[in-house]
Amino acid sequence: MSAFNAIGEEREIDRDEFTPEIEPQATWCPGCGDFGVLKALKQAMPEVGRTPEETLLVTGIGCSGKLSSYFKSYGFHSIHGRALPVARAAKMANPDLEVIAAGGDGDGYGIGGNHFMHTARENHDMTYIVFDNEIFGLTKGQTSPTSPKGHKSKTQPHGSAKQPIRPLSLALTSGASYVARTAAVNPNQAKEILTEAMEHDGFAHVDFLTQCPTWNKDAKQYVPYIDVQDSDDYDFDITDRGEASEMMQKAENALYEGEVLTGRFYHDEDRPSYQEEKQATGDMPEEPLAERYFDDDYEWERSYDLLERHK
């Protein structure tokens, strides 16, 4: 008996299934890069072959966090910076779910930075999409952790004195086993990368460059992208940590000099996911925990059997 019949259903999947029938009025501004993420994600789902009902999309708070409102699946619009801890526990409770977490650069690299580091370290089998628009969108244009040094905003009127976060390098050093960067204006690559990220068996981090025409008018998101995989100038082995790290640093330096490098930066297919590691130590059941509550035949152990040590 399965309690979750939607899981593993094999059939043709249409990307329109992921559109709510009555689409809530999208509150994103015209021209916002977030539309690109939504579209790429909907296009990737049929490729991955997962239905809306076996998919759980957990988002943080921000314009980016609204993704779960416009994407029809099981969704969880959580709190600022906390999408990852919610998502990874859902994955642990039911590893059969396709779990995706998403949020902004403020959400993921600022307030949720600690969770980012630790979720990557644990290498949970999930995909994390960060809408990187180098700005706080929803709260009206404050400096974000990826805003360039010198960036002026209402909260940093004299220009930010801080170096921006290096999300790709941070993901790699923290332990993510798949790291890529794509961009809303590059829909084909975005779809491919999201597909690959979801198919990857481990923590896949996608730094998704999105333009915010409302608050970040002169950002370099409009500059043409270079796909590192397509260009002869960048030859490196994405399975090699050292080479990947070097390429990431190149990309991170270049971004603020007006050159936008995107593509796959790191892919480690050998590292076991957290779930596999935890099962190997005997700390996690083989069967999904969530199934058990629907299984009438399951024998529940009692604390009474533990009392021997208290006598």
Partner 1 sequence: MTDDELIWRIAGGSGDGIDSTSQNFAKALMRSGLNVFTHRHYPSRIRGGHTYVEIRAKDEPVKSRGDNYNFLLALGDSFARNPQEEAYYGNEEIKPLTENLDELREGGVIVYDSGLLDASEIENFDERAEENDWHVYDLDLRGLAKEHGREVMRNTAGVGATAALLDMDLEHIKGLMSDAMSGDVLEANIQILEEAYESVNEDYEHTHDLRAPTGTQDEEQVLVSGSHGIAYGSLDEGCRFISGYPMTPWTDVFTIMTQHLPEMGGISEQVEDEIAAASLAIGASHAGAKAMSGSSGGGFALMSEPLGLAEMTETPIVLVESMRAGGSTGMPTKPEQGDLEHVLYTSQGDSNRVVFAPGDAAECYRQTRKAFEIAYEYQIPSIVIYDQKLSGGHQTVPEEVFDQEPNPDIGSVTTEQDLEEAVQEAGRFKRYMYDDEGERGGVSPRSIPGQKGGNFLASGNEHNEVGHISEDPDNRVLQMNRRMSKLESIRDELAENADHQTVYGPEDAEYGILSWGSTKGVVEEAVDVLNEQGHSVKAMNVSDMMPFAKDEVTAFLESVDEALVVEMNATAQFRRHVQGQLGRFGEKLYSLLKYDGNPFEPREVVSGFESRIGGEADLSQYNVRIESATGD
Ligand X SMILES: Cc1ncc(C[n+]2csc(CCOP(=O)(O)OP(=O)(O)O)c2C)c(N)n1
Of the residues 40, 45, 92, 120, which one makes contact with partner 1 according to CB under 8 A: 92
Distances 49 to 64, 176, 228, 261 between C-alpha atoms, Å: 24, 23, 27, 29
Cβ-contact 37, 67 below 8 angstroms: yes
Q: Which is nearer to partner 1, 124 or 181 (CB)?
A: 124
Between CA 17 and CA 46 the distance in angstroms is 10
Provide the mask over 50-89, with x wherever binding to ligand SF4 is found by CB under 6 A and - wherever it is not.
-------------x--------------------------
Provide the mask over 85-124, with x wherever binding to ligand SF4 is found by CB under 6 A and - wherever it is not.
----------------------------------------
CA nearest neighbour of 134 among 221, 37, 245, 52: 221
Choose the contact partner of 123 out of ligand X, partner 1, ligand SF4, none; CB within 5 to 8 A by kind.
none
- The answer for 232, left when phi > 0, alpha when psi is -120 to 50, beta otherwise, is alpha
DSSP 66: G
Choose the contact partner of 278 out of ligand X, partner 1, ligand SF4, none; CB within 5 to 8 A by kind.
partner 1
Tell whether residue 139 is a contact of ligand X (CB under 6 A). Answer: yes
Residue 63 beta carbon to partner 1: minimum distance, rounded to whole angstroms: 12
Residue 27 beta carbon to ligand SF4: minimum distance, rounded to whole angstroms: 7
Residues touching partner 1, count (CB under 8 A): 63
Which residue blocks in the chain are alpha helix, DSSP H? 34-48, 67-70, 83-93, 105, 113-122, 167-174, 187-199, 241-255, 274-280, 289-292
Choose the contact partner of 107 out of ligand X, partner 1, ligand SF4, none; CB within 5 to 8 A by kind.
ligand X
Residue type, 192: E
Cβ-contact 71, 100 below 8 angstroms: no
Choose the contact partner of 243 out of partner 1, ligand SF4, ligand X, none; CB within 5 to 8 A by kind.
none
Of the residues 18, 28, 178, 265, which one makes contact with ligand SF4 according to CB under 6 A: 28
Q: Which stretch binds partner 1 (CB under 8 A): 146-154, 165-173, 216-224, 276-284?
A: 276-284
Tell whether residue 7 is a contact of partner 1 (CB under 8 A). Answer: yes
Tell whether residue 112 is a contact of ligand X (CB under 6 A). Answer: no
Between CA 152 and CA 218 the distance in angstroms is 11
Give one DSSP letter per residue of 218-233, joined into a string.
T-GGGSPEEETTT-TT
Which residue's entry shows tokens 């980016």? 64
Of the residues 64, 68, 177, 245, which one makes contact with partner 1 according to CB under 8 A: 68
Q: How far apart are the first and last CA of the chain?
A: 40
Residue type, 37: V
Residue 97 beta carbon to partner 1: minimum distance, rounded to whole angstroms: 6
Q: Which stretch binds ligand X (CB under 6 A): 20-28, 56-64, 152-160, 195-203?
A: 56-64
